[in-house]
Amino acid sequence: MAMFTKGIILEQHKEPAFSKAIVRFVNPQTESLGTDIPPLEDPMRAEAGEIIEIAKAARIVDERDGKMLYRKLLRTQGRAVAVIADAVDDEPYLSSKITPMLRCQEAAIGGLRLCMRVAGTNNCLVMVYRMTGDLETQIPKSIGGVRVVRLWGGYPAESHASKIKVGPGRKLTVSAGALIHLYRAVTEQRRQSTAFITVAGDCIANPMNLEVSLGITVMQVLERCGMAAEPTHVVCGGPMTGIAIMNAEKTLITYTTRAVLAFRENKRDAHYSCIGCGRCEQACPVGLNPMYIHRFVQNSYYRNLLPFDAHLCTGCGTCSYVCPSKLWVSVSVQKARQYALDHFVDPDGEVDELDD
């Protein structure tokens, strides 16, 4: 097995969307939806149970992991040593976390402090990605009086988040968008009806960060920003972990949609062969050998995968990104991961040996 490495440094390509204000593209009818919970006399002094009930009624989903916010609050109620605001955008083009954090500071920090009341801690910080090129100077040392911590190292940044020192014990990490929606729900009795997304790519005439209504189509988003050329490749999500879509008129914006990217061509359609360069092995943040895993999957030699620990894959997509042949290595590794979980790994997480 390859030795552990720290991933790769990605060119971020966050301009010009990063430097622009957030543009609202919302449906007034859905934006006015309330939570049916009476207004609090002093929202910022709400009790933990009240905050959790409001988060549940507002149906807030954390775009970081797709989990209901009230469930995360319940699990950490009175038991977290720190609350971390996640404003990490470590994939190219994406700025749908850091921009709301910077542009909606009052709501984001207000939501952070509400989470701190639930968690029962005074310890908090804002987590951002260090590798943002020339844009580093635009990220302050503190936001709304809360310390900003920059994650160092290569992509994926999540592998470095555990190195942040906040003391022993459980941490509650919530994305910037969910914090903003929590603040709105508590102070204005508003249900979550929007998501923050980045719209970019070489087909987009006006790259920008949008706050858009949930349930509108990807095509509506693209038309709002204007298309300089007809895209041949549209991705929902980041270029590393996003999903290519077939029909922009039928694909909807969801709670966890963080970006819509439109490009002129897809070089992966060339169907080159693996040249055995080993770059995927060098870049894998958990030390796998994606090259061999890809070859075994392509030839359906799944029983040969046991020694390669495919079940440890985090799905970051680094192997596909660095591949000079532009192969969908990450797709093969994900197939191998699922096979390994189904056949090699027992419920306790131990790897079984194959029977002869």
**Last residue in a domain, options 200, 235, 265:** 265
* pLDDT for 4 beyond 50: no
Average the pLDDT over each of 98-102, 161-165, 328-332, 351-355 and give the range with the smallest value: 351-355
Closest C-alpha among 55, 40, 279, 286 to residue 174: 55
* pLDDT for 306 beyond 90: no
**pLDDT score at 2:** 40
DSSP H helices, 173-276, are 176-188, 218-225
**pLDDT score at 304:** 82
- The answer to whether 7 touches 285, Cβ cutoff 8 Å, is yes
Using a pLDDT cut of 70, give the percent of the chain over it.
89
Confidence class of residue 352 from pLDDT cuts 50, 70 and 90? low
**pLDDT score at 208:** 92
Residues 185, 328 within the same domain: no
- The answer to whether 17 touches 93, Cβ cutoff 8 Å, is yes
- The answer to whether 293 touches 312, Cβ cutoff 8 Å, is no
**pLDDT score at 100:** 95
Q: What is the CATH number of the domain that holds 65?
A: 3.10.20.600
Domain residues for the domain of 167 are: 13-265
Number of domains within the chain:
2
User: Cis ω on the peptide bond leading into residue 156 (within 30° of 0)?
Assistant: yes
Residues 69, 179 within the same domain: yes
The percent helix, strand, coil of the chain (3-state, each to 5) is 35, 20, 45
**pLDDT score at 7:** 65
Strands 208-213 and 194-200: antiparallel
Q: Does the residue 350 lie in any domain?
A: no
Q: Does the residue 7 lie in any domain?
A: no
Residues 83, 185 within the same domain: yes
Residues 179, 324 within the same domain: no
Residues 32, 134 within the same domain: yes
**Last residue in a domain, options 223, 242, 265:** 265
**Last residue in a domain, options 241, 265, 289:** 265
Q: Does the residue 49 lie in any domain?
A: yes
**pLDDT score at 54:** 97
Residues 261, 275 within the same domain: no
Residues 140, 224 within the same domain: yes
Q: Does the residue 303 lie in any domain?
A: yes
Q: Average pLDDT over the chain, rounded to whole? A: 87
Q: Does the residue 5 lie in any domain?
A: no
Tokens of 85: 């605001």
Residues 119, 228 within the same domain: yes
Average the pLDDT over each of 73-82, 214-223, 338-347 and give the range with the smallest value: 338-347
**pLDDT score at 148:** 93
* Per-residue model confidence as pLDDT tens digits over 100-146: 999 999 999 999 999 999 999 999 999 998 765 444 447 888 999 99
* Per-residue model confidence as pLDDT tens digits over 149-173: 988 777 888 777 777 878 788 899 9
